[in-house]
A and B are shown apart, each in its own frame.
Chain A
């Protein structure tokens, strides 16, 4: 049974709320950092709406702050975002048969959080798709822009999120979502492969976490493709 587009979008926006709280706290913290790098509220609001990828914005801003230059900042941010290619590719049915503007809108609003939430709801047997993803993404974009602009405007008055344990919010969220994606023993080998490659890449080879993430995801999927059966 599927809902109408507005109902589904509204459900996506509502149910992303716990994750949006985490995004808001991250946004405030990022606003603090961006203030040190000389970003104003207008620049940061524009960045939030057009880039809409928190981790990449943080890494790029750290590079600017370290005096690495614009090119190095852009490359560092985009390296972290390579996973979004895999994220978008992995839910191809969501964009299939959509008009070009819907594809562009959906692609821009695809983030780790609303993608993962949609997958978790599907794992529970709900028929959610494009509009659920877009509703959640729109809610996150609004929250992210408001929080980052607030953070840069009130940079002096805010506490550090790590002192509150809030830096762990997304790790815990992704643990919950991984649990809901677990479909039985056939997931074991691909998942262990992913974890092993992440450990090897980041600790063994000393690669940046962004590369470990992409390599781990690809290696696990490759294992499922080669070893698994339909």
Chain B
């Protein structure tokens, strides 16, 4: 019981400090030059990394569903539709292949 609350408190305090540090560090990075260019590119690179981590931890079925989701994303640029296509594809691939 106590361990539970220690974990909650530690995670809550640590996570808030991480988020706040991000805000404060972002404010201090120069507005121009290489640092600013890197910071502008950061969101896209993080999102692509998230996708890479997720797909690399899966197998050929995940890659197939990922490829289909990418095709739907490129054709429609629609978020809910891409999610639905990805979920449907992985479900079909896992059940029938």
Seen from chain A, the residues whose Cβ lies within 8 Å of a Cβ on chain B are 18-19, 22, 37-39, 43, 46-47, 50-53, 56-57, 60, 64, 69-71, 73-74, 77-78, 81-92, 95-96, 103-104, 106-108, 110, 112, 115-117, 119-120, 164-183, 187, 190-191, 193-195, 197-199, 202-203, 209, 212-213, 216-217, 219-226, 228, 230
Contact = CB atoms under 8 A, between A and B. Distances in A.
A170 B50 CA distance: 10
A127 to B, nearest CB: 17
B71 to A, nearest CB: 10
B60 interface: no
Given A51-B8, A221-B41, A178 B51 contact: yes
11 contacts: A64-B7, A74-B7, A78-B15, A78-B18, A89-B22, A89-B29, A172-B87, A175-B70, A175-B82, A182-B44, A198-B49
Contacts of B65: 168, 171-172
Classify the interface of chain B: helix, strand, loop or mixed.
helix
A191 to B, nearest CB: 5
Of residues B6, B10, B27, B42, which shows the largest number of chain A Cβ atoms within 10 Å of its Cβ? B42
A53 B62 CA distance: 24
Contacts of B74: 179
Interface in B59-97: 62, 65-66, 69-70, 72-74, 77-80, 82-83, 85-91, 94
B51 A190 contact: no
Interface of B: 1, 3-8, 10-12, 14-16, 18-23, 25-27, 29, 32-35, 37-57, 62, 65-66, 69-70, 72-74, 77-80, 82-83, 85-91, 94
A171 B77 CA distance: 15
Contacts, number: 281
Nearest to B50: A174
Closest 10 CB pairs of A and B: A172-B86, A88-B22, A220-B45, A225-B38, A224-B41, A92-B26, A165-B91, A216-B49, A89-B26, A176-B82
Nearest to B91: A165
Contacts of B26: 88-92, 95
Contacts of A82: 18
Given A169-B87, A175-B73, A220-B46, 8 more contacts: A52-B15, A74-B11, A92-B23, A171-B54, A198-B49, A212-B53, A221-B45, A226-B38
B24 to A, nearest CB: 9
Contacts of A222: 38
Given A56-B15, A81-B15, A107 B66 contact: no
Given A85-B21, A181-B44, A224-B38, A18 B86 contact: no
Contact of A46 (B8, B20, B66, B86): B8
